[in-house]
Amino acid sequence: MTGKPSVMSSRERVLAAIRRQPVDYVPCAPLVNPLSRVQRRGKPWYFPWDPPGEGTEYWVTVLGTDKVVGDWWLGRVFPEDGVRTRVWEQDGLLHKAYDTPSGVLHAAVRYDELWPFGQDIPFFHDHVGHHTENWLQTEADLACLEHILLPPRTAEQVEQVRMAFWVRKAVADRLHVATLATIGSGLTTALWMFGPAELALLTVDDPGLVERYLELEHRWSLRMIEILLDCEVDIIQRSGFYETCDYYSPAMLERFIGKTLRKEIEVTQQGGRPFSYVLYSGLAPMLDYLAKLDFDCLSSLDIAFDDIDLGAVKAKLGDRKSFWTGPSNTFHMYADDPEVVREAVRKVFAVFGKTGLIISACSSVHPMMPWENTLAMLDEWRRLR
């Protein structure tokens, strides 16, 4: 197909942009995080819909954007039969334990008003600063996790994943928008499971332990990808938020995740779907490494960090990757002057052009951001698209 196509559906537009194909106009697919009730405590809710949702229908039908319907960690994990969980409070701490055939896997957190998960300690979350004991510390812990961090294995379990996705797909089909599932996160989940400082030390002191965890997580992710491809998800996304050169050298990234990441990309693309990779910061030293990976879209790049040379990113990756990016939620979207947001949108268009571009605040739009800034982003997008 050559030239500018006629009117496209939102789904068609987003998928074409991700593949660097012609579009009728550049899509705007806002990445939205309404945050938890605890995170929002004492802060305003400026979204023009009631909390706590992302407002998908409003983004599409009122604002005219190409909001994608997605989910993180769809399907969760499926422990072996016989694995049991226990949760209890003691001395201001919340404890959770899994009793497995290999022993007890245990974690503990400070249980105060800032803990957002009630009487539960999930595996995968950003609130690791609450942990007084991380899930993974030793080989014995990993042996326990091997009974827990498992993909669906029975027809009933697979159907649970399918049903969870189909509920979202029904919304997407009604609104004619694309679907996305974030599956696979490698070193991102490793940071959550081991703890940030602890993981950094283990990559040097006991890299084999880290590698064995990553292989376990990879097997879970690969099976989830296969199931969701069969469900006709439009986009598979990997959260590489904590697997960049903010934390590791390019050589370490290649060692720890190069092989498994390539396999997940390969399986996704063999299924006829694009692979989007969330990489927020720390990209400057890893551009050569990224150029050797065949993912389709670089998502959530924060354009405002001092060490990000957008021209270098475009020169190294721009002929093969698409870019899902826009104003920074750290430096732009909370600004007092909406013109700051408009200038950021103009910068993205100037650097990346209109081929292979999807506009969104990065890493996401929050409910306490001045709503006029979001409207400024959308207005400038409409003017330039």
Q: Go through the domains of the chain in sequence order and give each one's CATH number.
A: 10-78+144-384 (3.20.20.210), 84-135 (no CATH)
pLDDT for res 350: 98
- Map residue 347 onto helix, strand or coil: helix
Band of residue 4 on the pLDDT scale cut at 50, 70, 90: confident
Question: Which residues, in sequence order, are CB contacts of 283 under 8 Å at separation 6+?
Answer: 244, 245, 290, 301, 308, 313
Average confidence score pLDDT of the chain: 96
pLDDT for res 82: 94
- Map residue 364 onto helix, strand or coil: coil
The pLDDT tens digits for 311-335 are 999 999 999 999 999 999 999 999 9
Q: Is the pLDDT of residue 2 over 70?
A: no
- Map residue 90 onto helix, strand or coil: strand
End-to-end CA distance of the chain: 20
Percentage with pLDDT > 70 across the chain: 98
Backbone angles phi, psi at 358, to 5 degrees: -130, 130
pLDDT for res 253: 98
Q: Say how far residue 78 (Cα) sits from the centre of its chain.
A: 21
Q: Give me the helix-helix angle, 187-194 and 196-205, nearest 10°.
A: 110
Lookup: tokens for 83:
């694995």
- Rg over alpha carbons for the chain, rounded to the nearest Å, is 21
What is the C-alpha to C-alpha distance for residues 30 and 134, in angstroms, rounded to an integer?
33
The pLDDT tens digits for 50-83 are 999 999 999 999 999 999 999 866 668 999 999 9
Instruction: Tell me what the mean pLDDT of segment 289-298 comes to.
Output: 98
Residue with tokens 């399907």: 75
What is the C-alpha to C-alpha distance for residues 209 and 137, in angstroms, rounded to an integer?
9
Instruction: Tell me what the mean pLDDT of segment 35-39 comes to.
Output: 92
The pLDDT tens digits for 342-355 are 999 999 999 999 99
Q: Is 336 exposed, middle or buried (0-12, 13-18, 19+ CB in 10 A)?
A: exposed
Q: Is 10 exposed, middle or buried (0-12, 13-18, 19+ CB in 10 A)?
A: buried
Lookup: tokens for 166:
């189909």
What is the C-alpha to C-alpha distance for residues 178 and 260, in angstroms, rounded to an integer?
26
pLDDT for res 1: 46
The pLDDT tens digits for 196-223 are 999 999 999 999 999 999 999 999 999 9
The pLDDT tens digits for 153-189 are 999 999 999 999 999 999 999 999 999 999 989 999 9
Asked if residue 333 lies in contact with residue 378, where contact means CB atoms within 8 angstroms, the answer is no
Q: Is 149 exposed, middle or buried (0-12, 13-18, 19+ CB in 10 A)?
A: buried
Rounded to two decimals, what is the model's pTM?
0.96
Lookup: tokens for 327:
């104003």
Backbone angles phi, psi at 273, to 5 degrees: -115, 150
pLDDT for res 127: 95
What is the C-alpha to C-alpha distance for residues 320 and 56, in angstroms, rounded to an integer?
30
pLDDT for res 73: 67
